[in-house]
Amino acid sequence: MHQLNELDASFLFLESESTPMHIGGIYTFDAGERQDRVTFDEFRLYLQKRLHLANFFRQKLMTLPLNLDRPYWVDDPDFDIDQHLEAVDLQGGGHADLMALAEEHLATTLPRTRPLWHVTWVDGFGDDDSLPEGGFALIVRVRPCRH
């Protein structure tokens, strides 16, 4: 159990449905040198095997009654990686479709009932020179904090 510092708690208290206070990014990956495409299942397994290296990704917030003090990070006994991962097929869409999807995801707050991160796996790119052929993208949202 680790208590949030004042700065991290202030970002949490300032968040609203119309003002998410997480950070996020869109990352594109070129997998053209691989013989087989990278699959969502491979990515999920890769993350699952490494989550133990950063406890934060398995911790959720615990608030005190009436918010009498700053919240704490506590281990989530019901942690389920599938609540934090999503796969989306752009079905031949291009850069504009990826940006529209990212805009929608990045504008959505993270549920406070579980660890504060989410990754959306995106593949199925069409013919678009700005996206890697055979590649994939990640839309990542995470609540920054100091542990």
What is the per-residue pLDDT for 90?
A: 93
CATH number, position 13: 3.30.559.10
Distance between CA atoms of residues 139 and 102, nearest Å: 6
What is the per-residue pLDDT for 57?
A: 94
Residues 6+ apart with CB under 8 A from 116: 22, 60, 61, 110, 142, 143
Q: For residue 83, is it within any domain? A: yes
**Predicted confidence (pLDDT) per residue in 54-111, tens digit:** 988 999 999 988 878 999 999 999 999 999 999 999 999 999 999 999 999 999 999 9
Q: For residue 147, is it within any domain? A: no
Q: For residue 100, is it within any domain? A: yes
Domain that includes residue 67, residue range? 2-142
The pTM (predicted TM-score) of the whole model is 0.91
Alpha carbon distances (Å) from 59 to 31, 114, 126, 131: 32, 7, 37, 34
Nearest alpha carbon to residue 57 among 83, 86, 93, 31: 83
**In total, how many domains does the chain have?**
1
**Predicted confidence (pLDDT) per residue in 14-57, tens digit:** 999 999 999 999 999 988 777 888 899 999 999 999 999 998 89
Distance between CA atoms of residues 28 and 38, nearest Å: 13
